[in-house]
Amino acid sequence: MAARGEFSSRMAFVLAASGSAIGLGNIWGFPIKVASNGGGAFVFTYVVLTFLLAYPILMAELVIGRHAKSDTVASLVKISSRKSRPLAFLTGYWGILTASLILGFYAIVAGWMIAFGLASAADLIGANAQSEWLTGFSLNRNLTFVAVFYLLTIGIVANGVTAGIEKWSTRLMPMLIVLILALIAYIGTQNGAAEGWRVYLQPDFSRVLNPDLLISALGQAFFSLSLGVGTMMVYGSYISKSENLPKLGATVAAIDIGIAFMAGLLVIPAMYVAQANGVTIYNESGALIDSDGLIFTVLPALFETMGGTGIVVSLLFFILMTIAAITSSISMLEVPVAHAQESLGLARKKAAWVVGLVIMAVSVVIVFNFGVLFGWVIDLTTKYSEPLIGILFCVFAGWIWKRNELLQELQQGKPDVENSFFWKVWPAYVKVVCPLIVLMVFMHSFGLLNV
């Protein structure tokens, strides 16, 4: 078998893993959830859950992955005893299925980003009819850009870890950050922005334990860090043994929260600016009129206030969003592709194309049944599958894997880890506390636990 891929440097891993974490979840998904769940209360709960739950589980994935240096199914099998092997298969394949379904809906939204980017280019040359088609919600438009997005994603994954994933993740993420900061500064000059920031930053603590809010924040915490399907486990398997894992994980988590927070600082005020300019965003009962389309309504409204420059800014924004989406989608596709390559023995390129096209068929089915399937697949995968699989990963790291092997793995790259705060807290924490928190959130959201 050919040698496995490995990230060529620490920076390369951090950028690739941040590239995976930062995506539509941060800039499209997070603001929608904030706006639908009363602003600051959601932000607060999401941040708390990320620290309490997502970071520890991220570490479980990274350490299992780097130890086993295999695809997810094989990794879980490697740390299992004979008795727990069936659970390893179940967890691994459930993760592969979930990653594939997530890519199934993600590619649709990513396609919208490409279409909106091209629409700005069309505006620039005065091609109004084309621009209208690109921004209108039609079957053909959706199908076209789903296909385009898959070609890009598959093309990168087919080239493997260094030449594909790493190369593209390192280049353009920094640009996205600069552009978002510039837009935040601009929106501060607009009418209505201050109200948006107040709603965003002042949590109404009485809503923090609202069952819908909690389960939605739980899902967001997992989704945003790309947890609970094996993405971070596979990326972990490409990390060199000389790296300090707890620190790498903390860096990625901090960058991801930072970007989501910034996206909120941009999109939530943009909603209020749009409202001040006469765009209707909430209906009479206070629900978002078009939640999936939120940023496709409020950001273009913002760009319009900039006059001619707005078209260029819009073009840039949607290009960068497309890139952010690609650095995430490649990490989803990597989960089934690594398995097809390493456990089933397909060549890299063939694995990427076969698996990629099969998942594209899933997207096509969703596009044809958009009203029924889109929201359902999102809820099924992000609110339920990811947290449940995340807990299974905790069970592997905390209960199934031999503790001394776990310690030895962490000692590679951090020889004194045994005396660190991390080692004093984390093992027992993933073993007991993480599963309990997820269980409590689930029970609470099903009305079984009243607090």
| Piece in contact with ligand TRP (CB under 6 A), picked from 19-27, 131-139, 169-177, 311-319 | 19-27
Q: Does 20 bind ligand TRP (CB under 6 A)?
A: yes
All residues at 6 or more sequence positions from 263 whose CB lies less than 8 Å from its CB, including other chains: 26, 27, 30, 31, 180
Q: For residue 86, what are its two tokens? A: 């069936």
Instruction: Point out which residues pair with 282 in neighbouring strands.
Output: 288
Instruction: Point out which residues pair with 279 in neighbouring strands.
Output: none
Q: Does 24 bind ligand TRP (CB under 6 A)?
A: yes
Closer to ligand TRP at the Cβ: 190 or 382?
382
> Among residue numbers 167 through 186, which ones bind ligand TRP (CB under 6 A)?
none
Quote the DSSP letter at residue 89.
Answer: H
Shortest Cβ 157–ligand TRP spacing (Å): 12
- Tokens 């790309």 belong to residue: 226
> Among residue numbers 342 through 401, which ones bind ligand TRP (CB under 6 A)?
none
Question: Is residue 339 within 8 Å of residue 73, measured between CB atoms?
Answer: yes
Shortest Cβ 402–ligand TRP spacing (Å): 27
Question: For the chain, what is the radius of gyration of the CA atoms?
Answer: 21
| Piece in contact with ligand TRP (CB under 6 A), picked from 20-28, 41-49, 168-176, 407-415 | 20-28
Closer to ligand TRP at the Cβ: 25 or 203?
25
Closer to ligand TRP at the Cβ: 271 or 326?
326
Member of 12, 14, 26, 79 binding ligand TRP (CB under 6 A): 26
CB atoms within 10 A of CB 1: 6
Question: Is residue 340 within 8 Å of residue 346, measured between CB atoms?
Answer: yes
> Among residue numbers 71 through 110, which ones bind ligand TRP (CB under 6 A)?
99, 102
Question: Is residue 158 within 8 Å of residue 352, measured between CB atoms?
Answer: yes
Closer to ligand TRP at the Cβ: 393 or 422?
393
Quote the DSSP letter at residue 344.
Answer: S
Shortest Cβ 223–ligand TRP spacing (Å): 5
Alpha carbon 135 to its chain centroid, in Å, reads 24
All residues at 6 or more sequence positions from 330 whose CB lies less than 8 Å from its CB, including other chains: 20, 153, 156, 157, 164, 165, 168
Closer to ligand TRP at the Cβ: 84 or 328?
328
Closer to ligand TRP at the Cβ: 25 or 104?
25
Member of 25, 38, 92, 111 binding ligand TRP (CB under 6 A): 25
Closer to ligand TRP at the Cβ: 12 or 417?
12
- Tokens 């636990």 belong to residue: 449
Closer to ligand TRP at the Cβ: 26 or 322?
26
> Among residue numbers 30 through 69, which ones bind ligand TRP (CB under 6 A)?
none
Name the percent of the chain in helix, strand, coil, to the closest 5.
Answer: 80, 0, 20
Q: Does 210 bind ligand TRP (CB under 6 A)?
A: no
Residues 112-131, mask of contacts with ligand TRP (x by CB under 6 A):
--------------------
Residue nearest to ligand TRP (CB): 25
Residues 189-208, mask of contacts with ligand TRP (x by CB under 6 A):
--------------------
Helices (H), 188-244: 193-201, 211-224, 231-237
> Among residue numbers 214 through 243, which ones bind ligand TRP (CB under 6 A)?
223-224, 226, 229, 231
Closer to ligand TRP at the Cβ: 263 or 301?
263
Shortest Cβ 205–ligand TRP spacing (Å): 26
Question: Is residue 328 within 8 Å of residue 226, measured between CB atoms?
Answer: yes
Instruction: Point out which residues pair with 288 in neighbouring strands.
Output: 282
Cα dihedral 133, 134, 135, 138 sign: positive
Cα dihedral 190, 191, 195, 196 sign: negative
> Among residue numbers 282 through 341, which ones bind ligand TRP (CB under 6 A)?
328, 331-332
Shortest Cβ 149–ligand TRP spacing (Å): 13
Looking from the CA of 326 toward its CB, the CA atoms found within 13 Å total 28
Member of 12, 15, 21, 114 binding ligand TRP (CB under 6 A): 21
Closer to ligand TRP at the Cβ: 123 or 292?
292
* 191: phi then psi, degrees, rounded to nearest 5: -65, 130
CA 223, 229, 235 angle in degrees (round to 5)? 95
Q: How far apart are CA 167 and CA 161, in angstroms?
A: 9
Q: For binding to ligand TRP (CB under 6 A), which residues are involved?
A: 20-21, 23-26, 99, 102, 223-224, 226, 229, 231, 328, 331-332
